[in-house]
């Protein structure tokens, strides 16, 4: 682990061309292995001009087809390698619940897990965390009973192999927000990790009740889109910054937040492309589909795997790291609003705009067709007609189109299978 940290410490400062060159060399080995050992790729390689083993250029790489979740599901076992090279360890199943409704069963190795942990440790080092401090996580973890927190010695396997870390505690994210807040107050965390939607709900609860977390130094988030509103709420409520991570269970860490800025640096071990509608690479400032390849997963190679997320590529970072920059992560295609004229955008709904209307506690919007949107609301009492009108007006402004807004009332709005929360979902199929 120390040797890898030393390498990562060096490689982050390499010029971008050199990072790319190292990635293509590793990709070349992955392709040769996939062609020889993975039936799905043996077949693909026969039909592309890319010859495994020959020197790989970016241009050749881009001739390889994009792999979708649906293809991964259909391909099933034909994506698994018959044999692994020495040193990759044993094969482990990775469970992904798939928030887009297409669950994927992925497999990794001891080596992919090792790189996952190395990235976790790099994140701690980048953000100069105090390893003796208390680390608290509120997340989805099968071993945790909702409402029952657990305490553990040490922060977990990524750190504990190298150094003695402080006490950590964990609570299931399905615990209701008031109980989470009470538990957190007792825990006195220095670092708090959770999903962005849960952090927003907690911050609003702390603001409403006037409670505080005086020991807190940093909020860490993952798993959902980390919006500007959450960062602002954390500063206002607890006076702390937010550090976000961009990862997926299938491929591991894709990007970590820069130590000096709110944008992200792509990680060397996962080759990430951001592609426009034509399948060409985006330039800085352009938003496109995120396509990833874990360069170390030889058990179930996912080559040019389309995650379903969209992101905006950024300019090189002033911090001096050569790792490419993702300026923003936008979410999934189903979080895109479709206007009747075919234009699409990611709507945002800062809670400070709608939470002051009546007693709204939670809201989720679902676009069923091109003319109407359902606003699902959790409120202590139904809104008055004037409040409903006010809400419609705010939403129509946010959507940028006079949609018909159908307000429906709910006791709670559950999280999806992966326990992620989406405040806007479009059910209109993309044309």
What's the CA dihedral at 192, 196, 198, 200 to 10 degrees? 100
Are the CB atoms for 243 and 237 separated by under 8 Å?
A: no
**Which region holds residue 188: left if phi is over 0, alpha if psi is between -120 and 50, else beta?**
left
Q: Hey, what are 219's tokens?
A: 């909020």
Site for Zn ion, residues 313 to 342, rule: CB under 5 A: 317, 319, 321
Are the CB atoms for 168 and 135 separated by under 8 Å?
A: yes
Nearest distance, CB of residue 243 and Zn ion, angstroms: 13
Q: Which residue, 274 or 375, has its beta carbon nearer to Zn ion? A: 274
Stretch in the footprint of Zn ion (CB under 5 A) among 33-41, 63-71, 136-144, 254-262:
254-262
Q: Which residue, 89 or 316, has its beta carbon nearer to Zn ion? A: 316
Nearest distance, CB of residue 260 and Zn ion, angstroms: 6
Sequence-ordered list of residues with C-beta below 8 angstroms from that of 403, at least 6 positions apart, any chain: 367, 371, 372, 373, 395, 396
Q: Which residue, 317 or 333, has its beta carbon nearer to Zn ion? A: 317
> Angle of helix 2-11 relative to helix 110-126, nearest 10 degrees?
60
Q: Which residue, 181 or 256, has its beta carbon nearer to Zn ion? A: 256
Nearest distance, CB of residue 220 and Zn ion, angstroms: 17
Q: Which residue, 124 or 321, has its beta carbon nearer to Zn ion? A: 321
Nearest distance, CB of residue 275 and Zn ion, angstroms: 23
Q: Which residue, 13 or 409, has its beta carbon nearer to Zn ion? A: 13
With CB under 5 A, what is the number of residues at the site for Zn ion? 4
Stretch in the footprint of Zn ion (CB under 5 A) among 98-106, 113-121, 311-319, 355-363:
311-319
Nearest to 103 by CA among 267, 249, 275: 249
Sign for the CA dihedral angle at 89, 90, 95, 100 comes to positive
Q: What is the spatial distance between Cα 266 and Cα 264, in angstroms, rounded to a whole number?
A: 6
Q: What is the spatial distance between Cα 431 and Cα 168, in angstroms, rounded to a whole number?
A: 47
Nearest distance, CB of residue 313 and Zn ion, angstroms: 14
From 44, 233, 258, 357, residue interacting with Zn ion (rule: CB under 5 A): 258
- Please report whether residue 14 would count as binding Zn ion according to CB under 5 A: no
Residues 90-125: b if buried by 16+ CB within 10 A, e if exposed: ebeebebebbbeeebbbbbbebbbbbbbbbbbbbbe
Q: Which residue, 259 or 281, has its beta carbon nearer to Zn ion? A: 259
Nearest to 138 by CA among 216, 211, 86, 71: 216
Nearest distance, CB of residue 110 and Zn ion, angstroms: 30
Nearest distance, CB of residue 179 and Zn ion, angstroms: 38
Judged by the rule CB under 5 A, the positions of this chain that interact with Zn ion are 258, 317, 319, 321
């Amino acid at each position: 682990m120390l040797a890898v940290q030393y390498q990562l410490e060096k490689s982050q400062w390499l010029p971008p061309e050199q990072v790319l060159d190292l990635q293509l060399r590793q990709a070349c080995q992955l392709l040769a292995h996939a062609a020889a050992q993975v039936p799905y790729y043996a077949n693909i390689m026969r039909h592309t001009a890319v010859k495994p083993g020959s020197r790989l250029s970016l241009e050749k790489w881009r001739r390889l087809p994009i792999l979708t979740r649906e293809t991964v599901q259909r391909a099933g076992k034909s994506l698994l390698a018959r044999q692994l090279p020495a040193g990759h360890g044993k094969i482990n199943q990775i469970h992904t619940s798939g928030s887009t409704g297409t669950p994927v069963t992925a497999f990794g190795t001891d080596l992919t897990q090792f790189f996952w942990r190395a990235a976790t440790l790099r994140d701690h080092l980048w953000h100069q965390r105090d390893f003796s401090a208390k680390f608290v996580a509120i997340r989805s973890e099968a071993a945790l009973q909702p409402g029952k927190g657990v305490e553990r010695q040490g922060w977990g396997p990524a750190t504990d192999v190298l150094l003695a870390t402080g006490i950590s505690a964990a609570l299931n994210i399905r615990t209701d927000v008031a109980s989470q807040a009470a538990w957190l107050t007792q825990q006195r965390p220095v670092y708090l990790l959770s999903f962005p939607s849960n952090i927003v709900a907690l911050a609003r609860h702390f603001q409403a009740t006037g409670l505080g977390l005086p020991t807190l130094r940093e909020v860490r988030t993952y798993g959902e889109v980390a919006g500007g509103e959450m960062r602002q709420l954390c500063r206002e409520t607890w006076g702390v910054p937010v550090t976000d991570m961009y990862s997926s269970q299938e491929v591991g860490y894709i990007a970590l937040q820069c130590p000096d800025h709110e944008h992200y640096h792509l990680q060397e071990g996962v080759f990430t492309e951001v592609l426009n509608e034509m399948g060409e690479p985006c330039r800085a400032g352009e938003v496109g589909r995120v396509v990833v390849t874990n360069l170390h997963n030889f058990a179930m190679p996912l080559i040019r795997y389309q995650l379903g997320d969209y992101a905006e590529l950024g300019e090189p970072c002033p911090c001096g790291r050569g790792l490419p920059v993702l300026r923003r992560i936008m979410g999934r295609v189903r979080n895109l609003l479709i206007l009747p004229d075919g234009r699409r955008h990611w709507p945002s709904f800062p809670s400070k705009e709608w939470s002051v209307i009546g007693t709204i506690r939670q809201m989720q919007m679902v676009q069923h067709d091109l003319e109407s949107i359902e606003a699902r609301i959790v409120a202590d009492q139904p809104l008055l007609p004037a409040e409903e009108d006010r809400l419609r007006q705010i939403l129509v402004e946010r959507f940028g189109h006079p949609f018909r807004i159908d307000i429906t009332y709910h006791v709670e709005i559950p999280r999806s299978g992966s326990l992620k929360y989406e405040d806007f979902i479009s059910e209109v199929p993309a044309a």
